[in-house]
Structure 1
Amino acid sequence: MLQAFAVLLAFQCLGEGLVFLLGLPVPGPVAGMLALLAALIAWPRLHDVVENGANELLRHLSLLFLPAGVGIVAAAASGSGHWLAIAASVIFSTLATLAVTALVLQAFGSRIDAPAPGEEDRRV
């Protein structure tokens, strides 16, 4: 699993470097994820290396929302007069995320659940 985290961190650092050197208008981690996607397509065996680490991160995904929550609470504590804008952006981004997730699941869900041609269905 340590190897998986090292690979994921290396791609994040690669993304940060690409953004810095090329002046790309995207966050470094996003560029790193795109580089990881390209590497996974080019070298399918890389999937076996990063799978365990990625699954472990996904199991604890809710912890990654803590910094955003702390930022919202800190903005409230500072007496910010932008509560309407903050509330609207939180609500809108949550609804947009749910909608996009539902559309992606609807589009790709049948491909994920379906057995490969020539294979039997092993779901229990």
Structure 2
Amino acid sequence: MLASLSLILLCQLAGEVITRGLGLPLPGPVLGLLLLLILLLARDRFSSIARGPLRNSGVETASKGLLKHLSLLFVPAGIGVVEKLDLLATHGLAIILILAVSVMVTLLATVLTFRLISRLFSEAP
């Protein structure tokens, strides 16, 4: 599991180094996740050719362990909110309004995208 967590963190580090080095407008962890996906796909393709599919590798075990304790990752965010309660009290109404508008825009965009895609697929032969 330690090697798998190291691989996950190395992919994230590589993503950070690449995005900062090239000045890409992409978060480093996102690029690191893409690198990890490419590595896992290459591993699965190679393993199916060489010796059959891998059943339960360490990366899957490590990721399941991280998902089990995912709620712990919300503790720093909660502490940050408590630390900035004065700003929240000052701008709380504006934050709630912005959150409500962003939720509505997201829902509207999702509905319009779904309707567009369903029309395109219903017209296809």
Q: Which category describes the TM-score, using the shorter chain as reference length?
A: 0.5 to 0.7
Residues 67, 41 of structure 1: alpha-carbon distance in 2 compared, 3 angstrom cutoff = same
Deviates more, 1:74-83 or 1:7-16: 74-83
- Please say if 1:84 is aligned against 2:93: yes
What is the CA-CA distance between 1:85 and the residue it aligns to? 3.6
**Counterpart secondary structure, 2:57:** helix
Partner of 2:33: 33
Q: State the aligned residue count.
A: 95
Counterpart among 54, 57, 60 of residue 66 in structure 2 = 57
When the two chains are superposed, the root-mean-square deviation of aligned CA atoms in Å is 2.6
Correspondence list, 1:42-121, <5 A = 42-44=42-44, 48-78=57-87, 81-88=90-97
- Please say if 1:13 is aligned against 2:13: yes
TM-score after normalising by structure 1: 0.63
TM-score after normalising by structure 2: 0.63
4+ residue segments displaced more than 6 Å:
none
Percent identical across equivalent pairs?
A: 42
> What residue ranges of structure 2 are gaps of 5+ in the alignment?
48-53, 111-125
More helix by share: 2
Say which one has the larger Rg: 2
Partner of 2:115: none
What is the CA-CA distance between 1:88 and the residue it aligns to? 4.6
What is the CA-CA distance between 1:90 and the residue it aligns to? 5.8
